Amino acid sequence: MIKPLNGGSFFKYAMHLELTSRCTLACPACPRTWFADKFNMPFPKQDLDLDTLSYFLDCNTGQTVDTLFLCGNHGDPIYYPRLFELIDRFRSTKKFIIVTNGSFQTPNFWNTLANKLTNNDSIVFSIDGLEHNNHLYRKNSNWQSLMTGLDIMLASNVPVTWKTLVFSYNQHEIQAIKEFAVGKGCSFSAMLSSRFSDDSFVPESQYVDSSRLYSKYESVELTPRCQSQEYISADGYYWPCCMISSYFTLHKTVLWKQRNNWAIAGKKLDALRPILSNWQQGVINDPNNAHDVCKMECKSNQNTHTRLLT
């Protein structure tokens, strides 16, 4: 299962939700940025329908979901118009982990969010530098509004983590970033990546998560993690994981051709879990013909989804 980055307790069953495709940033490796560049138009605005989600989770399997992991694949959960309503609706039965870039929300928003979350929830701020360089990858981010949100959440009883991805521009500043984050009261996590898009962001080789790189010509032993990475997209589909559902990979898979089978509208999680199991079994039975994303994300010797910098 997904583990809270702040080192909090494990949970039984987490569901990854992408609430919206809305975002104020233009990170180079984000599929929404890729879409805008390729098609010369903004990525479509999509918001997960809350009533559809409620119906989908109102079943035996849905009741075992004890944590909603709110993290964007194309968007950011703090821009979801019904975020507070979603928290209120599931507050009595589920915990929340929110991952956000933290920019361009108001003090009123952050105070309301702090009041709705508890110390059983957590929030992760994705900040890849300090004031002078966080915006280099997190393009369009706003440091002042980000720090406002961070400070308000730190003043609450909600556990707060500062997560930094290692890039060429920050690889020699990780200790300084950590000291700043911990000095403010955050837990801190530095993570290695293998996805940069722009070569100028690629750090020295020891700071690249090479375990996730894949060559089409190598034979790979796979251990699919679909049952612990399952994901609901903002347009209302239940996919094996967020990585395979990215816009630039999904349309090259049989998943897209069979997308009606994966739509959550009018269905229960009980009904779609067997479809996910069949997909996972197919990867196990024929790993050499599995999708490239599976070969990058589900190698048997790959212990973590994103490697911590040690």
The structure tokens 């599929």 sit at 31
- The domain ranges of the chain are 14-297
pLDDT band with cut points at 50, 70 and 90 for residue 12: low
The confidence band for 292, taking pLDDT boundaries of 50, 70 and 90, is: confident
At the fourth CATH level, the homologous superfamily of domain 14-297 is: Aldolase class I (3.20.20.70)
- Kindly report the pTM of this predicted structure: 0.92
CA distances from 255 to 64, 75, 260, 264 (A): 26, 21, 9, 14
Q: How far apart are CA 246 and CA 12, in angstroms?
A: 26
Take residue 12 and report the two structure tokens written for it. Answer: 């039984």
Query: From CA 152, how far away is CA 135, in angstroms rounded?
Result: 21
Q: In what order do the strands lie in the sheet with 67-70?
A: 187-191, 160-165, 122-126, 95-100, 67-70, 14-17, 231-232, 238-239
The residue ranking higher by pLDDT, 69 or 250, is 69
The C-alpha atoms of residue 278 and residue 275 are separated, in whole angstroms, by 5
Whether the predicted pLDDT of 191 surpasses 60: yes
Cβ–Cβ < 8 Å for 305, 99: no
Confidence grade of residue 2 (pLDDT, cut at 50, 70, 90): very low
Residue identified by tokens 């069949």 is 278
Segment 261-279 shows an average pLDDT of: 96
146 touches 185 (CB < 8 A): no
Residue type, 166: V
Q: Phi, psi (5° rounding) for residue 14?
A: -110, 140
More confident residue, 199 or 22: 22
Q: What is the pLDDT of residues 132-183, one digit of tens each?
A: 999 999 999 999 999 999 999 999 999 999 999 999 999 999 999 999 999 9
Give the count of alpha carbons within 13 A of 267, CB side only. 17
What are the residues whose beta carbons fall under 8 Å from the beta carbon of 277, sequence distance 6 or more?
Answer: 227
Cβ-proximal residues to 60 (8 Å cutoff; 6+ apart), any chain: 270
pLDDT of residue 62: 96
What is the helix (H) or strand (E) element at residue 96, kind and residue range? strand 95-100
Instruction: Give me the residues paired with residue 260 across strands.
Output: none
Res. 218: pLDDT tops 80: no
The predicted-structure confidence for 271-289, as pLDDT tens digits, reads as follows 999 999 999 999 999 988 8
Q: What is the mean pLDDT of the chain?
A: 90
